[in-house]
Amino acid sequence: MTHSDRRIRIMLVDDHKTLLWGLGRLIDTEAAHMIVVGTARDCASAVELAAEVSPDVVLLDIDLGGACSLDIVPALLADQRAKVLVLSGTRDRELLDKAVMSGVRGVVSKDEPAETVIKAIEKVHEGELWLDRAMMGRVFEAMRNPQAVRRQDPELEKIAQLTAKEKKICSMIAAGGGAVNKALAQQLFISEHTLRNHLTAIYHKLGVSNRLDLYVFATRHRLDQHQA
């Protein structure tokens, strides 16, 4: 079977059973070149399922039971084949722009007709972006003038306050997850006491309370890509 013959593997993530059923039914009946390989209703199960089924495209509801699903986009993109298409019922421009900047390939409204949803999945799978003209303009402006975007994003301003050593620590925590302080200190060639001092400073600068909050923040902002 050639790549062009293989059906597009779709994973659906939405907290509403009826919408999951409807999307699955839509793909089964209207898109013979696609197959639903799994469905999830919350962030944790979505990340776990994506690792199991290796989807080509994840159709992700931006709001999962009151939780913003954008926090799991980096984890969904860990499989470099996967592309994320956000299904949105919001008109919050800032939130939708944040979705694109987090790595999603497109945004499709829940109000769009079935054929538009299918077309969006196809285009995203092919490596294209599925964005309206206004959003595309904002994305290009962010690429052209990233400093302006940073000035508008308080969380990026927080990251800019970190020292090189603190960024390195965030990088290691994002990459290592549950590594204990002793192991981190050994890798950094510093004492545990010094590491705790660094962590206290990091918590203060980023506005987080503990290691778990720091891990979530670091993963969301891809701090594992920072180098000391």
Positive or negative, the CA dihedral 39, 51, 135, 160 is positive
The domains located in the chain, with CATH, are: 8-144 (3.40.50.2300), 154-225 (1.10.10.10)
Start-end of H helices in the chain: 17-30, 43-53, 73-76, 93-101, 114-125, 133-144, 146-152, 154-160, 164-176, 181-188, 192-206, 211-220
Return d(Cα 120, Cα 45) in angstroms, integer.
Answer: 24
CA distances (Å), origin 122, targets 83, 95, 100, 112, 195? 11, 24, 18, 15, 47
pLDDT at position 47 is 92
pLDDT at position 1 is 40
Those residues of the chain that have pLDDT short of 50 are 1-4, 227-228
Q: For residue 20, is it left (φ>0), alpha (ψ between -120 and 50) or beta? A: alpha
pLDDT at position 2 is 42
The tokens describing 165, both together, are 């050593």
pLDDT at position 152 is 55
Q: What would you report as the CA-atom Rg of the chain, rounded to the nearest whole angstrom?
A: 19
Degrees to nearest 5, angle at CA 202 with 206 and 94: 20
